[in-house]
Structure 1
Amino acid sequence: MYGPETLFDYMVEWRRHLHQHPELSFEEKETSAFVTRKLKELGVFEVHENIGGYGVIAIISNGEGPVLGIRADMDALPIVEQTPVGYASENEGVMHACGHDAHTSILLGVAHWLKNHSDEIRGTVKLVFQPAEEAADDEGETGAMKMIRSPLLQDIDAIFALHMCPWLRVGELQVNDGPSMANNDEFQITVFGEGAHAGYPHQGADPIWMTTQLLQALYSITGRRMHPLDVGTISVGKINAGSASNIIPDKVDIHGTMRSYTSHVRHQLENELLEKANIIHSLGGRYQWHIQKGEPALINDEELNKVVRKVASDYTIYNEPFGMGSEDFSHMTNHLKGTMFFLGCGLEKERMLHQPDFDIDEQALEKGLEIMTGILQSYWKE
């Protein structure tokens, strides 16, 4: 079917094509069309397009059995690529810096494998190509939130996903039961004071001074207000204020993020944030706030992880959480029994996620295909 090339060669070709033509969240029109075309060429799938945006779901069935899902995300990031490879992004300012091109290529590889092994299938397999993992729309919704509403996903018994992992090498996996990635809530606080000449600060109400007091209070939350064994953090990443060195401005905009692993800590961080903001009143100012709820914590199913560990028994497996990043696959695992594992793809010089020099060892594509198809076979052999 593949001519002189192997399926691995095709996955590399697909991945490099997608890497050269990245598209941002909610703009994956050509990526979706590429995926759809490859799926329809196989002639064995029921292909559904425009699910939750540019999402694609491919379905193949053979008799009674479990309904299994595998999910891959397709979008890229607003990053200017800085890699010397010949397949670097041709879309200025857009880059596959999180490995979604690899995720999509692996899932296309699974589709080709399923065509060649259709007689082994017991039940149904649904391949879920998801848009918009990296960003939310004006309604605060990501691609997973939109796709999960589709009736096509409601009957899935177990759904699996993988993620490129640059801190591990090919042949290594990171697997974790329960909370594995963080709740992600973004906040904005605007501190209002009263502008004045910088030489006469007593004539105004300095919002920058108020902000310094607020920041000290915010950064003390995790060290003094939370249980030492709870996982959570609060960080400010952006502050905007002023227009000149000799003018005290009338307001300061503060933007930050809160990360946590449990709903209890998530609520505590929010409550503590709003309580600490009251310090502004005591300093003669006022404030407005807004909290944008992001992805919930990724909760991996312990039973499904047993399947992953068994299939990948020849790999080096690290059993630990994936960190304080967030992942919108968590919206799917909130509705469906599911799990995600991190797949080693690291190069000799580590290229971290969301960085302009990110790249992978493409041998990871073959490993991802091997594990995902092994998971499917493990269900059919039961």
Structure 2
Amino acid sequence: MYGPETLFDFMVEWRRHLHQHPELSFKEEKTSAFVAEKLKELGSFEVHENVGGYGIVAILSQGEGPVLGLRADMDALPIEEQSPIGHASVNEGVMHACGHDAHIAILLGVAHWLNVHKEDIRGTVKLVFQPAEEAADEEGETGAMKMIRSPLLQDIDAIFALHMCPWLPSGEIQVHDGPSMANNDEFQITVFGEGAHAGYPHQGADPIWMTTFLLQALYSVTGRRMHPLDVGTISIGQINAGSASNIIPDKVDIHGTMRSYTSQVRYQLEKELLEKANVIHSLGGQYQWHIQKGEPALINDGELNQIIRNVASEYKIHNEPFGMGSEDFSHITNHLKGTMFFLGCGLEKERMLHQPDFDIDEEALGKGLEIMTGVLQSYWKDQEG
């Protein structure tokens, strides 16, 4: 038996170990082994390994009742850490810059709490440790897409997740009903022209010149083709062309993303993209396109959010969407009733997600444990009520 302070110390220790030893998407072998070892030490959980890759589902059942799920992601990012902390990453070019180390530590903390409070469980709890949130494989699938196909997840009645939030201090959370993070679709357009000497441009068909018209057309979509109250973006992140300053190339590769909150806007952006690409034909060129469908919008369940709000009533609660980022937990909430909230972890000097100096206020670990265990107890109480 141990008290909350002791468990918090363990959570800090786990988080720092994981932060020091990050692993990229689909390579979380040691992370998964660490989690499985900690779960098996408790002796109460049915631990299923290698679910959808290196995923783990730990099950603790106390008879009939609802099946509740809690999810944490496990992978890190291809970023070279620049934090002056004593537990900085020892793996070159790999870093926990999105707080997944903290997510794991909190869920392990919940496992320890459940092990001590087994008599409070009404039904079944499934702890889902998910690999590969940050990247997709060659088939375009992330870890959530693979895990949701497992029968181990199919009977979950409600599933909760949290995410570190560095723009809020510890003791504050962000909650939102409905669409809360964006659909994320990547696209590539290759513009084909005809190469020529830079001194004789009239002898070719300049694809760079054609691309300038296409870019203006694409950037006009959200300002002039979409309803002002709809949310959506088209952004170009990469353009590749040419090999020398005095040669007009024969093609330009354009890479970008489209983000939206609804299926209607998602469809409209794709339709506008293809319509605008037709300008290339009028300028004497040709084009090819490819759209890679990514994460769907994260749709949070309002009823489950109300449980979070009630449990965290003493916290400052921000009721607003989480922004235009994407989150592969949305693949799970597309199949199961679920929700995610953002947990304040900000330091005095804000450290943003996916940045080389990212770090958290570790007091957030205790807050996350408090809310997650409170959510379980509240759900069970409501079911009895």
TM superposition score category, shorter chain reference: over 0.9
Structure 1 residue 274 corresponds to structure 2 residue 279: no
Q: Tell me the SS of whatever aligns to 2:129.
A: strand
Task: Give distance in 2, aligned partners of 1:22 and 1:240.
Answer: 32
Q: Tell me the SS of whatever aligns to 1:275.
A: helix
Task: Give distance in 1, aligned partners of 2:346 and 2:237.
Answer: 28
Residue number in structure 1 paired with 2:13: 13
Q: Give the partner amino acid of 2:14.
A: W
Following superposition, the deviation at residue 329 of structure 1 comes to 0.3
Residue number in structure 2 paired with 1:343: 343
Residue number in structure 2 paired with 1:310: 310
Following superposition, the deviation at residue 249 of structure 1 comes to 0.8
Task: Give distance in 2, aligned partners of 1:29 and 1:116.
Answer: 28
Residue number in structure 1 paired with 2:296: 296
Q: Give the partner amino acid of 1:66.
A: P
Q: How does 1:48-127 map to 2 (within 5 A)?
A: 48-127=48-127
Residue number in structure 2 paired with 1:358: 358
Task: Give distance in 2, aligned partners of 1:16 and 1:329.
Answer: 24
Following superposition, the deviation at residue 86 of structure 1 comes to 0.8
Task: Give distance in 2, aligned partners of 1:2 and 1:77.
Answer: 34
Task: Give distance in 1, aligned partners of 2:127 and 2:60.
Answer: 9
Q: 1:361 to 1:4 in 2, by over 3 A?
A: closer
Q: 1:102 to 1:156 in 2, by over 3 A?
A: same
Q: How does 1:1-382 map to 2 (within 5 A)?
A: 1=1, 6-382=6-382
Task: Give distance in 2, aligned partners of 1:379 and 1:135.
Answer: 32
Following superposition, the deviation at residue 192 of structure 1 comes to 0.7
Q: Tell me the SS of whatever aligns to 1:136.
A: coil
Following superposition, the deviation at residue 19 of structure 1 comes to 0.5
Task: Give distance in 1, aligned partners of 2:6 and 2:381.
Answer: 26
- RMSD between aligned residues: 1.0
Task: Give distance in 2, aligned partners of 1:187 and 1:80.
Answer: 27
Q: Give the partner amino acid of 2:94.
A: V
Following superposition, the deviation at residue 380 of structure 1 comes to 2.3
Q: Give the partner amino acid of 2:174.
A: Q
TM-superposition CA deviations, 1:1-29 (whole Å, max 9, x none): 45997100110100010001100100000
Following superposition, the deviation at residue 65 of structure 1 comes to 1.2
Task: Give distance in 2, aligned partners of 1:62 and 1:3.
Answer: 23
Task: Give distance in 1, aligned partners of 2:259 and 2:5.
Answer: 45
Q: Tell me the SS of whatever aligns to 2:12.
A: helix
Q: Give the partner amino acid of 2:374.
A: G
TM-superposition CA deviations, 1:124-171 (whole Å, max 9, x none): 000000000000011110000000001111111100000000000000
Task: Give distance in 1, aligned partners of 2:101 and 2:255.
Answer: 30
Task: Give distance in 2, aligned partners of 1:123 and 1:5.
Answer: 28
Task: Give distance in 2, aligned partners of 1:321 and 1:297.
Answer: 11
Task: Give distance in 2, aligned partners of 1:22 and 1:33.
Answer: 13
Task: Give distance in 1, aligned partners of 2:81 and 2:200.
Answer: 47
Following superposition, the deviation at residue 381 of structure 1 comes to 2.2
Q: Give the partner amino acid of 1:168.
A: L
TM-superposition CA deviations, 1:325-371 (whole Å, max 9, x none): 00000000000000000000000011110111100000000000000
Task: Give distance in 1, aligned partners of 2:381 and 2:329.
Answer: 27
Q: Give the partner amino acid of 1:7.
A: L
Task: Give distance in 1, aligned partners of 2:325 and 2:154.
Answer: 27
Task: Give distance in 2, aligned partners of 1:5 and 1:113.
Answer: 12
Q: 1:75 to 1:335 in 2, by over 3 A?
A: same
Following superposition, the deviation at residue 280 of structure 1 comes to 0.5
Task: Give distance in 1, aligned partners of 2:98 and 2:373.
Answer: 23
Q: Tell me the SS of whatever aligns to 2:97.
A: coil
Task: Give distance in 2, aligned partners of 1:122 and 1:217.
Answer: 57
Task: Give distance in 1, aligned partners of 2:180 and 2:158.
Answer: 18
Task: Give distance in 1, aligned partners of 2:97 and 2:250.
Answer: 38
Q: Give the partner amino acid of 2:239.
A: I
Task: Give distance in 1, aligned partners of 2:372 and 2:211.
Answer: 50
Q: Give the partner amino acid of 2:215.
A: L
Report the more deviating stretch, 66-75 or 4-13: 4-13
Task: Give distance in 2, aligned partners of 1:4 and 1:69.
Answer: 22
Following superposition, the deviation at residue 45 of structure 1 comes to 0.1
Give % identity: 86
Q: Tell me the SS of whatever aligns to 1:226.
A: coil
Structure-1-length-normalised TM-score:
0.99
Count of paired positions = 382
TM-superposition CA deviations, 1:285-339 (whole Å, max 9, x none): 1111100000000000000000000000000000000000000000000000000
Task: Give distance in 1, aligned partners of 2:99 and 2:69.
Answer: 20
Flag structure 2 segments of 5+ consecutive residues without an equivalent: none
Q: 1:4 to 1:237 in 2, by over 3 A?
A: closer
Task: Give distance in 2, aligned partners of 1:186 and 1:379.
Answer: 38
Q: Tell me the SS of whatever aligns to 1:134.
A: coil
